[in-house]
Amino acid sequence: MFLWQVFKGQLSTNLENFCRGMCSSPFCSRCNTVEEVIPVLRDCPQVKAIWKALLPASIPFAFFTGSCMDWIKNFSKFLKWAGGTP
């Protein structure tokens, strides 16, 4: 369900909430960049540090690049590797 929401762009981010008049700023409170789905889940420097701490070194660089769909595919592969269910 979560990955489906990511793919469909249905996660509530500051950018989405700002566009709907539901918050006063589209920026991330942690890194001060526009808060969109992929930056929140992958590109924010603080989030990236968490991923790097959690992921084994064998996970390819592609995990941190590409479109939303590419990232979902890479994330799903990681979940399968870790024994989880995408």
**What pLDDT digit, counting tens, does each position of 30-72 carry?**
889 999 888 888 888 998 899 888 877 777 677 788 887 787 7
Beta bridge partner(s), residue 34: 27
Percentage of residues of the chain with pLDDT beyond 70: 85
Question: Whole domain around residue 22: which residue ranges?
Answer: 2-82
Count how many domains the chain has: 1
Model pTM?
Answer: 0.66
Indicate the helix (H) or strand (E) that contains 6: helix 2-8
